[in-house]
A and B are shown apart, each in its own frame.
Chain A
Amino acid sequence: MSDLAATTPGTPPLIEAVLLSRTEVERTILSLSDGEKTALVKIARVYARKRNTPYDHEDLVYEAFTRIIDERRKWPRGEPAIKFIGGVIVSIAWEWRNSVEVNEETEVGDKGAEEQSTIARIDAKIIVDIFEDDTVAQRLVVAMIEGARGEELLNLSGLTSTEYESKRRKIRRRLERLGAI
């Protein structure tokens, strides 16, 4: 970083060629569209709900913007706003989750764990059970939980690309409405 920060008189700092300046960062944040802001808050909500932390999605968004504005998180020039800010939100969520990592040996079925752990309340099995009335959606959810992505999910569903995206959106909306994730 110190090499990047080295400047030559009469030329702009090299670091500014790679990273957005603070003014540019603020300007970009202020110019976010309503759709982008909504997406960011939704992303934060998904991660805040499934993390075992005392923080909510607003805390996550606030922390992300604070770190970006004070340049603890450097914004690479050319990085789309939604992708960069969303990545910072996810990163912070991981950081916070790791600070309160649960005991690996704790069984979810234990009574004590159920009372104390958010994870116990948001159980993957429960989420699968939500889609009992929609076999395609349930199959997709199981595949998602097992780690399938993109093409693989599309092939597993047996749907067209448009149908698959529509089904995936319905799954997300259903989970959002139920507050399950």
Chain B
Amino acid sequence: MTAKTNQQALDRLADVLIEDILSTPADQLLVEVAEDYGNPRALAATCDKIVLRARSSNDRLVTKASPIPASELLGGFSLEKRPYFAGRLRGLWQSVIPLIFDVIFPNRLAMITISSACVASLGFVIAAPTVFNWIQARNSGIPTGTEVFDGAPAGPQPRAPVQEREVANERGVTRGLYPDAPPPSPAVPRVLDLPSAAGHAGMRSDAAATGTDGSKSGSSVAPPIAAQRSASVSTPAADNYVVQVSLERRKADAEAFIRNLQVKLPKELGDHKATVRRADLGPNGVYYRALVGPFGSAGDADRFCSSLKAAGGQCTVQKE
């Protein structure tokens, strides 16, 4: 038997079976389904799902191809047609929204342009306050938190104590600002060479060990800036001498030097405050001074510097 002959035989058999299905009472068919599936509605439920899929698929196609006219939607409403009213409303919704978008965004280029402008405007609104503050601070000369004051003239200065980054020198409590900064540039010599077995490099490694997160630095709490400010402002005439112990290219190096000084020579430092100041040396570039002070007189500063030198260090006395 060829395939075609076999197929024809099966077709004829199928026709008779279809006849039988069509002539079988509905309740009998449901009984058969219950026997086969345990649920008389098993095949009917399958059919329901298929009809649902077919209708929703067709709704999408019809809505896309030909929106329902408003007159047909609203004019023909009656109690008899109520079951279909929700479907028509859905169709209206699906047709009106795309129409609105077609009007607002006639082409994709316009849509992309408008969207980009909206995003850019939003970004500007968010960033503007920060940028304006930064520009204002730059123009007025007030440090913005990451700066330290440079070698400014003596006397009360509005910019110096407000947001300076000081390293506290009280009972070994230090405040490191840039613990993860890279090592210093070897090209710039230090003013003060401390007597350490490990030398300066050793001091730096110690500094790393006792950095802002180390045990020796403790909680890294500096005296309140406002208190420092009031102190420095209240005695402007007396505190006008400082001792420079190091001059560094990088602020982090100057801070690290001070931390090492506090560790290596706590006795010599005593209660004197150590600070880092930015020094703009013009064509020579910007340096950072590690300073101790201020001292009430040149004599006090000299005495402190002498004690440091006696301990093996170097320093210079400067008038603020």
Using a CB–CB distance below 8 Å, which chain A residues touch chain B?
Answer: 23, 26, 29-30, 32-43, 46-47, 50, 52, 58, 61-62, 65-66, 69-70, 82-83, 86, 90, 102-108, 113, 117, 119-120, 122-125, 127, 141, 144-147, 149, 153, 165, 168-169, 171-173, 175-177, 181
Using a CB–CB distance below 8 Å, which chain B residues touch chain A?
Answer: 1-4, 6-7, 9-27, 29-30, 32-33, 36, 40-41, 43-44, 46-48, 50-51, 53-55, 57-58, 61-62, 84
**Interface of A: prevailing SS:** helix
- Bound together, the chains give a CA A40 to CA B51 distance in angstroms of 12
Which residues of B have CB within 8 Å of A37? 43-44, 47-48
Which of A46, A47, A104, A145 contacts B3 (CB under 8 A)?
Answer: A104
Contact assessment for A41 and B47 in the assembled complex, using a CB-CB cutoff below 8 Å: yes
User: From A94, which residue of chain B is reached at the shortest CB distance?
Assistant: B11
Which of A35, A113, A172, A176 contacts B25 (CB under 8 A)?
Answer: A35
The 8 closest A-B pairs by CB, nearest first: A35-B26, A37-B47, A65-B54, A124-B9, A34-B44, A37-B44, A41-B43, A145-B9
Residue pairs across A and B with Cβ atoms less than 8 A apart, 14 shown, are A38-B47, A42-B21, A50-B13, A62-B54, A66-B57, A69-B58, A82-B22, A86-B18, A104-B2, A120-B3, A122-B10, A141-B13, A144-B13, A172-B20
Which residues of A have CB within 8 Å of B20? 165, 168-169, 171-172
- Bound together, the chains give a CA A83 to CA B27 distance in angstroms of 18
Which residues of A have CB within 8 Å of B29? 35, 38-39, 42
How far does the Cβ of B43 sit from chain A's closest Cβ, in whole Å?
4
Given known pairs A104-B2, A144-B12, the reply for A46 and B17 (CB within 8 Å) is: yes
Q: Which one of B15, B19, B47 has the greatest number of beta carbons of chain A within 10 Å?
A: B47
Contact assessment for B26 and A46 in the assembled complex, using a CB-CB cutoff below 8 Å: no
Contact assessment for A62 and B1 in the assembled complex, using a CB-CB cutoff below 8 Å: no
- Bound together, the chains give a CA A32 to CA B46 distance in angstroms of 13
- Bound together, the chains give a CA A147 to CA B54 distance in angstroms of 35
How far does the Cβ of A166 sit from chain B's closest Cβ, in whole Å?
11
Given known pairs A34-B30, A58-B50, A69-B58, the reply for A149 and B6 (CB within 8 Å) is: no
Which residues of A have CB within 8 Å of B55? 26, 65, 69
How far does the Cβ of B60 sit from chain A's closest Cβ, in whole Å?
11
- Bound together, the chains give a CA A135 to CA B12 distance in angstroms of 20
Contact assessment for A29 and B16 in the assembled complex, using a CB-CB cutoff below 8 Å: no
- Bound together, the chains give a CA A37 to CA B47 distance in angstroms of 6
Contact assessment for A172 and B6 in the assembled complex, using a CB-CB cutoff below 8 Å: no
Which residues of A have CB within 8 Å of B11? 50
User: From A68, which residue of chain B is reached at the shortest CB distance?
Assistant: B54
Contact assessment for B3 and A107 in the assembled complex, using a CB-CB cutoff below 8 Å: yes
- Bound together, the chains give a CA A144 to CA B2 distance in angstroms of 18
Contact assessment for A43 and B13 in the assembled complex, using a CB-CB cutoff below 8 Å: no
